Amino acid sequence: MAWTAHKVPLPELVEASNDLDEKARELANLIRTSKHFIVFTGAGISTSAGIPDFRGPEGAWTLQAQGRQRTAAAVSTLQAIPTATHMALVELQNQGLLKYLVSQNCDGLHRRSGILPDKISELHGNNTREICKDCGKEYIRDFRAVADDTKSIHDHRTGRKCTICSGPLHDTIINFTEPLPARELELALEHAQNKADLCLVLGSSLTVTPANEIPEAVGNSRRRGGGAKLVICNLQATPLDGMAELRVHAKTDELMVRVMRELGMEIPGFVLRRRLAVTTVEVGGQGRGQRCKVVVSGVDVDGTPVSFLRSVKMVNNRRVVKAEPFAFDLRGDVAEEGLELQLELEFMGHYGEPNLELVHGVQDNELGVAVVYLLEYNPYNGEWKTTRTKQ
């Protein structure tokens, strides 16, 4: 909020290019030789995607403290393309170097970029993730899954119901004065206090508690003579600068591009990846009198339901299903007849995704089993790639 920012923001400092090259080389060596490398991210990693930070010269809280309005419209977090920093972290994860990521960001870009759900603690929530407080079931949405802003800031009910227990769903956003999610914080502290030998802070002012206790735990280890090292990359000064083994004043993209080059790794381009499950279930009857139901749904790598479709149409069938669950009734022994279902998928379209036609062959040994397709959309050329995977 405005009271957490200065009316006159702290100055932003920028390293000379040669100095940045040298520090990137030093950081790359630290990453290369680390055994348990973790990263802590803040709003600064998303500014190059068009999402404002909070305490920079044009940050959200800075503007409020100054009584100013933003002159240029911010990019929607649903349409923002993950930055070079986001994608560098994905590659470091995929190469086995990055062991865990702790984030203060609510924009959802880490998960969308390809960070795995068991590799991240989103300490301040995710505006596309909601949860059932009754049974613990989570849901990922391709829309802002947040409570109506006419409610109290502590009323997190989104108005939707859990499909498992019918309990009310709540958004995961953490507002000021609210406690951090216990499990997310526990995992973050476990990695910082007991495992990490290197922690890289990217784009955070490190002024918000208790989240800043994560990198502080690594810095305290260094002060006590431990082997853990803290590296901070932020344009403005932070309260933990004195704990850092290496302090970098730069935009995070400029640092990470250099670091990845020193590591001999390419930063992958962003590809929107969706996982689609198609399940054919026998309802009753036999032979040509058999009745089946086909259910189409989005799913994450860990089984979490994901909502990213506007509608599903079965070609040669007049019915268009425009709400979850996307289900169709069929008659006949569909497996024995070798039926192929032609599904036309309509997406939310935040990246301009065109409709996709998917041909799904129903097989006898897959009745009752979710067949999962990996759908990959390249926003730069507007093309889809579809792969049938094993569940």
> What CA–CA distance (Å, rounded) separates 188 from 197?
14
| Residue 233 assigned to a binding site | no
| Residue 162 assigned to a binding site | yes
Is 6 an annotated catalytic residue?
no
Catalytic one of 110, 124, 170, 249: 124
3-state SS track over the chain:
CHHHCCCCCCCCCCCCHHHHHHHHHHHHHHHHHCCCEEEEECHHHCHHHCCCCCCCCCCHHHHHHHCCCCCCCCCCCCCCCCCHHHHHHHHHHHCCCEEEEEECCCCCHHHHHCCCHHHEEECCCCCCEEEECCCCCEEEECCCCCCCCCCCCCCCEEEEECCCCCCEEEECCCCCCCCCCHHHHHHHHHHHHHCCCEEEEECCCCCCCCCCHHHHHHHHHHHCCCCCEEEEECCCCCCCHHHCCEEECCCHHHHHHHHHHHHCCCCCCCCEEEEEEEEEEEEECCHHHCEEEEEEEEECCCCCEEECEEEEEECCCCCEECCCCEEEEEECCCCCCCCEEEEEEEECCCCCCCCEEEEEECCHHHCCCEEEEEEEEECCCCEEEEEEECC
Sheet of 246-248, strands arranged across: 120-122, 98-103, 37-41, 198-202, 229-233, 246-248
Half-sphere CA count of 86, side-chain side, radius 13 A: 26
Q: Which residues are annotated as a binding site?
A: 132, 135, 162, 165
Q: Which residues are annotated as a binding site for Zn(2+)?
A: 132, 135, 162, 165
Residues designated catalytic: 124
